[in-house]
Structure 1
Amino acid sequence: MRLLRSLDQLDRARPRTVTVGAFDGLHRGHLVLLRTLVRVAAAAGAVPTVVAFDPHPDAVLRGASPALLCDPEERLERLATTGVGETVLEPFDRALAATPAARFLERLGAGAGLLAVVMTPESAFGRGREGTPETVARIGRELGFRVVPVPPLRSGGAPISSGRIRAAIAAGKLAEARRWLGRPAAVTGLVVAGANRGRSLGFPTANLAFDAPVCLPPDGIYAVGAAWRDASGAPRYAGGVASLGVRPTFGPGERTLEVHLFEVDEPLYGTRLRVEFLRRQRGERRFGDPAALVRQMERDAARARVIVAAVR
């Protein structure tokens, strides 16, 4: 997959089919849209092209990005597996938000190489979201491209959407989120130094820091899987048990995610770690002394091993 950092880098004369969106999480609904994009492009001998945005449009329009379902790097990695030929990561700012839909379509190649725009009924882009499927189809009739409609993938009577998945994760409905994502809910963060309290208790942990708001489930203890690349660049995966919360046994603190990985001894400081939430085991509790906490941690770890083996 070819990655472009601006629509200005597009060869407007090259035949292409296009879809536009944030594509946060790249969930099953997105995949239906992208399969249609690739199929239509193949039939026309065109390049299937995705236009996504950085930052998320809400960061500009509403002053804050939503809690992300995947980080930008993972989004690109997943897009690269779908058969998409080009992804344009267009910088999103106030000027782009104010661009008329017709002008935005010209930048995509309308009147030149643009053959089709693949859209769901909820899709819209351009100034005030004026570029609805109906408006884009009208412009297409004038400029020689068509709109390919894609019905949304539905579950439980409603379309699968990034917002719906965020709500499920925040409510602790991990099975629903997994069904809609097509994989476990996960976050990616940078491993940073902590207080080494877990190591002193016999459970060394990787403490995660995040570049942007991420979508986390309720506080508690979780069986998890974790993926990263080692010093040689080779992919690694391990099961583990994670604590998400404020560590009440040691007094109130900031909300943190700490992950104890099974059979992993090397330090991971500075590593980007992707943590999959497989199952919530219990809520966060305050223990009377460290010894009681350690006994519970041993039970949590033993149960997590069973869950990881069964779920993963």
Structure 2
Amino acid sequence: MQVFRGVGEVPPGFGPSAVTVGKFDGLHTGHRAIVADLLAAADAAGDLTPTVVTFDRNPLAVLAPERCPPALVGLDQQLELFAGAGVAATLVLHFDQALASIEPEDFVRDILAGPLGTRLLLVGDDFRYGRRGRGDVALLRAMSAECGFEVRTHERVVNGDRRISSTWIRELLDAGAIEEAAQLLGRAPSVRGLVVHGAHRGRELGYPTANLAQESDGLIPADGVYAGRLVDHTPTGRIPYPAAISVGSNPTFTGVPPRQVEAYVLDTTLDLYGHTIDIEFTHRIRGQVAYTGVDPLIAQMGLDVQRVRALAAQQEAPPAPRAR
């Protein structure tokens, strides 16, 4: 996938293109439906490059910082999700006061129609853009003939009676509802960061863990113990390992930094210090508990690992044959 970090990086003659615009935080199943329609439309036209225009941060970080929610994924994760979904090119716009103040007509002419050579624009039916959100679908349709593109809208994607949204997924992750969040995301929720040295208590207890740096990408779910995977980023590719994951402040001990994310890789000894890893969450085992001593904690950790191992075995097992 081509990535342009600013309009100035779009090469002359790029396009013609089929374009959609949005933050698409987490690229959940609602977003994926839009991307799928974009790809289908580009394929049907035969000569359009499916392109996403997105932003390097949530616009609320500039417009209303007090209301800006945490991101479900970091920008690099987001770009990987676009590429995995089949997007051919992504234009990442730096969202600042200048972009927030652009008139909607200029946004269309100077970003969509000109550099990208947009011939088809696919947006949600509630799409707003430009200074003070003045731009809408009606304005796009009014400018479409002048700028040489067709406007199509995409209806909201719902699950049950609720629209699938990044807000809903944040609510689920904040509650530790991993499997429900995964259903809406279409993948396991994950966080990404560097492995750093911790207090080495896990090693002393017989369960050495890889500790994520405090500065990580992705929304960390509620405190608790989870089953999932540690994915090591190596020069030859990404290698997944089943893992028991702890999120929280380790209440049995004092002086522990808040909101640690650490993963114990099952039955494998790895030197991961300095590695970038993804920690993927698949099931919640239990909440965080303050134990009266080390021995009860070790006993519970043994039970947690047994549960994680059983879940990992279920995921690896081939499906049972259907009765005829």
State TM-score, norm by structure 2: 0.90
Determine helix, strand or coil for the equivalent of 2:212. strand
Q: Does 1:59 align with 2:61?
A: yes
Residues 52 and 90 in structure 1, CA contact (< 8 A), matched pair in contact too: yes
Deviation at 1:109, TM superposition (A): 4.2
Structure 1 residues 182 and 109: CA distance shift in structure 2, 3 A:
closer
Q: 1:236 to 1:14 in 2, by over 3 A?
A: closer
Residue 123 to residue 8, structure 1, CA distance change in 2 (3 Å): same
**Bigger shift: residues 95-104 or 65-74:** 65-74
In structure 2, the residue matched to 1:49 is 51
Counterpart in 2 of 1:228?
A: 232
Range 190-199 or range 163-172, more displaced: 163-172
State the shift of 1:311 in Å. 4.3
1:6 aligned partner: 6
1:1-312 to structure 2, matched below 5 A, reads 1-10=1-10, 11=12, 14-44=15-45, 45-63=47-65, 65-110=68-113, 113-211=117-215, 214-230=218-234, 232-251=235-254, 253=256, 254-311=258-315
Which AA in structure 1 matches 2:53? Answer: V
8 Å Cα contact 2:74/2:217 also seen in 1: no
Shift, 1:265, TM fit: 1.2
Distance 1:109 1:57, change over 3 A: closer
Bigger CA drift: 185-194 or 64-73?
64-73
Distance in 2 between residues matched to 1:133 and 1:187, nearest whole Å: 35
Paired residue type of 2:57: P
Task: Give yes or no for contact 2:176–2:223 (8 Å, CA) kept in 1.
Answer: no
The AA in structure 1 aligned to 2:32 is L
For structure 2, list consecutive stretches of 5 or more residues without a partner in the other structure: 317-324
Q: What's the CA shift for 1:9?
A: 2.7
Paired with 2:168 and 2:298, the residues of 1 have a C-alpha distance of 37
Quick one: percent identity of the two aligned structures?
35
Letter in 1 for 2:188: P
| Structure 1 residue 224 displacement after superposition | 1.6
> 4+ runs of 1 displaced by more than 6 Å?
none
More displaced, 244-253 or 295-304? 244-253
Q: Secondary structure at the match of 1:148?
A: strand
Q: Deviations over 1:188-238 (max 9, x none)?
A: 1211110101101111011112436742222111112121223x4332111
In structure 1, distance between residues paired with 2:19 and 2:43: 12
Give the direction of change, closer, same or farther, for the CA distance of 1:81–1:234 in structure 2 (3 Å limit). closer
The 1-side partners of 2:14 and 2:262 are apart by 50
Counterpart CA distance in 2 for 1:13 and 1:73 is: 23
Q: Does the residue aligned with 1:305 lie in a helix, a strand or coil? A: helix
Superposition CA RMSD, Å: 2.0
Q: Distance in 2 between matches of 1:273 and 1:124?
A: 36
Q: Check conservation: 1:24, 1:70, Cα contact below 8 A.
A: yes
Q: By how many angstroms is 1:12 displaced? A: 6.3
Larger mean CA deviation between 271-280 and 34-43 belongs to 34-43
2:39 counterpart letter in structure 1: V
Report if aligned partners of 1:229, 1:271 keep a CA contact under 8 Å in 2. Answer: yes
Distance 1:19 1:177, change over 3 A: same
Query: Which runs of 5 or more residues in structure 1 are unaligned?
Result: none
Q: Distance in 2 between matches of 1:33 and 1:264?
A: 40
The 8 Å contact of residues 191 and 216 in structure 2, kept in 1 or not, is answered as no
Deviations 1:25-75 (A, max 9, x none): 111111111111122222331211111111222222222653222222121
SS of the residue 1:80 aligns to: helix
* Count of aligned residue pairs for this structure pair: 311
User: Residues of 1 paired with 2:76 and 2:156: CA distance?
Assistant: 25
Residue 52 of structure 1 aligns to a residue whose secondary structure is strand
> In the superposition, relative to structure 1, how do residues 139 and 167 fare at CA in structure 2: closer, same or farther (>3 Å)?
same
1-structure distance, mates of 2:220, 2:315: 19
